Every structure is written in structure tokens, then in C-alpha cells.
Amino acid sequence: MEVKSNLDDLRDLVERFMEEMALARYRAGAGLGEAGAVDSVIRRHNSLMDPAILEMVAEESGTEEAGVSDELRRALLFLHLDEEARPSTERLMAEMRKARLRVSGEDIPFLDSSRRIDAEGDRRKRALIALARANKVAEWEPILQHRLARLDEKSREMGRKGYGALLETESGFDLAALEGQIGEFLARTQDLYREVFSWLMKSRLGMDPADAEHHDLRRAFRGEEFDSLLSEGQLLTALSNFTRAIQIDLQAAGRIEFDLEDRPGKQSRPFFSRVRVPDQIILTAAPRRGHAHIRAWLHELGHSLHYAYTSERVGFEGRLLGDNSVTEAFGFLMERLALEPRWLKRFAGMDEPVPFVQFASAHRLYRLRRAAAQYQFELRLYREGVSTSLADEYRVRLSEACLCMVPRAFYLFNISPHLYSARHLRGWILEAMLHRHLVHYFEEDWFRNPRAGQFLIRLWAEGQEGGADRIASQIGAESLDLQPLIEDFEKKF
């Protein structure tokens, strides 16, 4: 009985920690936070970092009396790993904030260099900025290596054979099976992507695709001509009309707050914060334009609706933990609205949406292929450890997927925390399955059908209980199926 009580207290403590951390990170990203607020949350909940907690959870995991869920156990494992890596992570962030790139007599803040590459029309200068950025990242390789070394050492202290072995057993799904699906996706979209890539380079940059480097591809995807499509206000109006048609409350009876004010220090990219699920979800965005901003806005709205409509009856693990492939799928489903010509015409007022849809679809294919190659690389990195040969493999894998030279310097800089890239990929696969289901049962314009709205609300109400496989089974599939995702692209081009 005492163990059960202790575990109930632990569950409550983890939930409070996650809520306080979400609020602190929201305030920091929104330009409202005080310096050190995140550190203060960690100090207040320092008891969660006690190794005895991991021991207690490991001992009680799976017992009928204590009922320690895999989700809670995994959350604590990754929380301890994050804390182990935090000094290296904070050192890297500090270096990034202060770094400047000297290019053609100009000092460019490192944190602005990515945007500058996308915006720079002069190929020579763009190449110089990209090279300076890669050289700066290469200087931080010792920090990144140290971070991975600490994760590996901590995993061994937890009784595992290393960080890679821990990820294999604690991701909650079959990493190798996903690897097989991703390999198939890359192979089956290779010819299609080659055509898309050639079209992009020739039509947008007027250059031979064989001469393209990654900074050229980024420039091709900047898409300035689409900046005037939707202002923040127009996007909100479009979403209000869409959710009214589908009979979903855009703000979930006040549970979703929109922070759209422009202020110093506010993160430029939209993000959502699950301060208290389902009662307080905050979607934060600064006034911006462009296809990337629209896509990110829609994606974060999908997350927000998912969590705000999660039933209060769902337990802590189902509300805040579990398989994030689920919430990523709902993010991608809302993001897909920008690929729907009928939605863009009806709700966004676009008279000729086809050029935008073709452009956005090409970008989506690129993102998926890049993410797939990144996942393949990360799996090998975590299985084999850091080496110079793996840096070369990163360059080869990513370059083959993107069809242009990707600098090797980013091989450790771009890795996702705890293989989160897998959640994105599973989310994309599940979203394509969901979309096919919506079209089959509610027609091509499902986004104006109230029955489709009620279907989504029922799915959202279950939070993340049962993971992506639960949703797959609810729409009649035995498991995640790659075919709808591939067919998506075949229909678009």
C-alpha cells in the first residue's frame, strides 16, 4: 500500500513538473519569461532526479499492485537523460547565441544565418554564408560529442548497454520495422523526387540540377511570391470559417488561448504549450507571412486541438505521455489543409491555389525524404557511436535523399532528441492513413463536413492512449501502412 501511495505521489509530481515546465518555456518563447525560469522549475523539482526514483519505478514496473505504466517509466528515464545532457545543451545554446559569422565584411548572427541563406538571391554570397555556418557548427563538434558521450554513460549507469540500446528498448515501437518502411519510401519516391527537384532548380533558380548544393535547394523553397497569400488575420478568419463549417470550436470553449501579439524576444516560429491538459493550451505566434509560417501555424493548431479536446477522464499518462506519433499526426493533418485546393479556395479565398499547392507539395516531399534519411543515419549513429566515417555517411545519405550536397559538419548538430525523428515519420504515415479514411467516409471536401468534425473530436478525446496503433486499428488497419503516404505524392505530381 505504501508503494502504491508513493507511486501516486510520483505521478502527481511528474504532472506538476511538466505543467510548470510548459508554462516556463511558453513564457521564455513568448518573450515574457524571466531569465532562469526553466532552471528554477528544475530546482524546485530536483527530487525527481534522485536515482532512487528510477530504482523504485524499475522494481514496481509491470506489477499488478503498483501499476507503474511503461509511459511513466520511460518519461522518467528520458527526464534523467535530459538532465545529464543539460550542461552540454546549455553550453551549445550559449555558443549559438553569441556566435557571429563574418561574410564579405558583414557580421551575421549565427541564429539569423539560416534565414539569411534562404533569403539570399546572390548565389556566391549565399554559398559563403552557408560555408561560414557549416564551419562554425564544425567548431562545436566537441560539445556535441561530449553530449552524446554523457547520454551513453548515463544509459550504462541505468543498466543498459548504451544509449542506442536504451532507445531500441524504450521507444515504444519497433525501430527496425520503421527503418524498413522508410527505406521503402525513399526507394519508391526516388524517381518522382528527381523530377520535382529538376523542376525546382530549373524553374525557380534557372540552374542545372547537377550543379545544385543544399543552400540552392533552400533558396528554391523560400517562395517569396507566396508571402502575400495570408496575413495573420486572414489565416485566423479562414480557420474560424473552417472550424465553424466542420462544427469544431477553434478555441475549444476557451481552453485554447492565442498569443498573437508581437513583442521583443518572441520566438518567430509558431509553437504550442500544453500548460494544463485539457484546460490550458496556448498557441503562440508572431505576426509573420510566408508558406513556412502558414504551415507551422496549422501544425501547432493540430497539436492544440488534440490536447484541448482530450477528455478529462483520460489518465495522466494518456494526456501527457505516450506515443507522440499521435499528436504529430494531428499536427500534420491540419498542416495538410494548405495542400487542399478546395480548402484554400473556400476558406482562404485563393482564386488560383494550384501553383501554391504544387510548391508546398514539393516542399513536403523534400522534408519527408530528408527526415527519412536523417532517421536512417541516427539509427546507425546510436548503434555504432560517433566516428569520422559516420560524418561522411551523413553527408552521403542526406545528399542522396535531397539530390544535392549536404555538408558533413551537421552530422551531430541536426540529430533529434531521443530519436524524435521517428515520431515525426510515424506521424506522417498515420496522417496519410487518417486523410484517406476521411476522404473515403466524408468525401474529398471532408473539411466542411460536420460528421468529419465529430469523428476527429472522438479521436482527440482519447488523448494518446494506445498510441498510433490504436488509431490505425480504429480506421480498419492492422498497423501503420506506408501505401497511403506514397499514393499521396503520386496524386500530387
Per residue in 334-356, pLDDT (tens digit) is: 999 999 999 999 999 999 999 99
Percent of the chain predicted with pLDDT > 70: 97
Grid cell for residue 476: 480498419
- Please choose, from the candidates 172, 144, 168, 166, the residue with its C-alpha nearest in 3D space to the C-alpha of residue 80: 166
Residue 65: what pLDDT? 55
Grid cell for residue 331: 499536427
| Terminal C-alpha separation, the chain | 61
Extended beta strands in 110-164, E state: none
Judged against a pLDDT cut of 70, whether residue 63 lies above it is answered with: no
Residue 190 confidence class, pLDDT cut points 50, 70, 90: very high
- CA 207 to chain centroid, in Å, comes to 32
CATH of 176-492, one of 1.10.1370.30, 1.10.760.10, 3.40.470.10, 3.40.190.10: 1.10.1370.30
For residues 427-441, average pLDDT: 97
For residues 462-470, average pLDDT: 94
- Are 220 and 205 spatial neighbours (Cβ–Cβ below 8 Å)? yes
Judged against a pLDDT cut of 50, whether residue 329 lies above it is answered with: yes
Backbone phi and psi for residue 291, each to the nearest 5 degrees, phi listed first: -65, -35
- Are 65 and 4 spatial neighbours (Cβ–Cβ below 8 Å)? yes
Enter the pTM of the model: 0.95
For residues 309-334, average pLDDT: 96
Where are the domains positioned within the chain?
1-68, 97-170, 176-492
Judged against a pLDDT cut of 60, whether residue 76 lies above it is answered with: yes
d(CA 231, CA 229): 7
C-alpha dist (Å) from residue 9 to 4, 17, 429: 9, 12, 37
Residue 2: what pLDDT? 46
For residues 68-95, average pLDDT: 93
Residue 287 confidence class, pLDDT cut points 50, 70, 90: confident
Residue 94 confidence class, pLDDT cut points 50, 70, 90: very high
Instruction: List, as one string, the DSSP characters of 299-344.
Output: HHHHHHHHHHTS-TTS-HHHHHSS-THHHHHHHHHHHGGGG-HHHH
Residue 412 confidence class, pLDDT cut points 50, 70, 90: very high
Half-sphere exposure of 388 (CA within 13 A, CB side): 0
C-alpha dist (Å) from residue 437 to 27, 335, 369, 440, 442: 38, 17, 24, 5, 8
d(CA 136, CA 159): 36
- Please choose, from the candidates 423, 424, 388, the residue with its C-alpha nearest in 3D space to the C-alpha of residue 408: 388
Kindly report, residue by residue over 13-50, the tens digit of the pLDDT: 999 999 999 999 999 999 997 778 888 999 999 999 98
The per-residue pLDDT of the chain, averaged, comes to 93
Residue 66 confidence class, pLDDT cut points 50, 70, 90: low
For residues 470-475, average pLDDT: 94
For residues 118-143, average pLDDT: 97
Largest separation between any pair of C-alpha atoms in the chain: 72
